[in-house]
Amino acid sequence: MSECVEKGPGQASAPDALAQDFLQFVVDCGALRFGEFKTKAGRISPYFFNAGLFDDGIKLGRLAQFYARRLLASGIAFDMIFGPAYKGIPLGAALTVELARQGLNVPFAYNRKEAKDHGEGGSLVGAPLRGRVLIVDDVMSAGTAVRESIAIIRAAGAQPHAVVIALDRQEKAIEDGQDAAHSAVQYVQQLGLQVCAIAKLVDLMQYLDQHIAAGLALDQQRVQAYQQRYGVAER
């Protein structure tokens, strides 16, 4: 059974062990921080996930292991991996290496922000985009990188098939300057793509509930208030 099956609104679930291990990892290495952070949407968030802080071989390798474990457990089938510039490039490359280490060798490609006008030219690097393409990213807030990736993949004649991300913030997307009723993840799902996340906001809430005694009580209250204001129900 896929570990990415959505729960219905109000449906309680036991803590996801993989998600909890991942959250402990990202807190320990400083990639997940609590405080006050302004998001691209202009909201003041009580937490921030920075994939740029997986900045050495051990951290990046372990991150790739979490991606691979979640992805393989999900049952999602795909033919190749695409990493959107910029953060998706090292994430996609690391995941491709980890999957090969586990016996699944698939092609990998990424895009440049600006097309190259010399050498091989073009804006795509790596394997030709073919078949069912899996997009790798860190956090899907507005979904901008994924939407751009979908257009690139379709233009190449391939199928944007699924997305794997590290953290699903499960909050309302912004459309025309207004809060939407759906999240960026739900919007991408409506386009027909499967979305798989290592951890979600509900997992983060469970993590904070379990670590209140470790001095995270105030952070738990702030994240809960943020969830109540901007969160979306799972579908």
Which one, of 101, 95, 75, 98, lies nearest residue 138 by Cα? 95
Which of 7, 38, 59, 118 is labelled catalytic? 118
Contacting residues for 33 by C-beta, under 8 A, at least 6 apart:
47, 48, 50
* Residues 188 and 144 sit within 8 Å (Cβ to Cβ): no
- Answer yes or no: 118 catalytic: yes
Instruction: Report DSSP state, residue 79.
Output: S
SS3 at position 179 = strand
Kindly report whether the peptide bond that precedes residue 86 is cis, defined as omega within 30 degrees of 0.
yes
Read off the amino acid at residue 11: Q
Read off the amino acid at residue 197: A
Cα of first residue to Cα of last residue in the chain, in angstroms, is: 17
Contacting residues for 128 by C-beta, under 8 A, at least 6 apart:
107, 109, 156
For residue 162, what are the β-bridge partners? Answer: 134, 194
Which of 40, 113, 116, 161 is labelled catalytic? 116
Instruction: Report DSSP state, residue 51.
Output: G
Is residue 97 within a helix (H) or strand (E), and if so which, with residue range?
A: helix 88-101
**Max CA separation in the chain (angstroms):** 58
| Residues identified as active-site | 116, 118
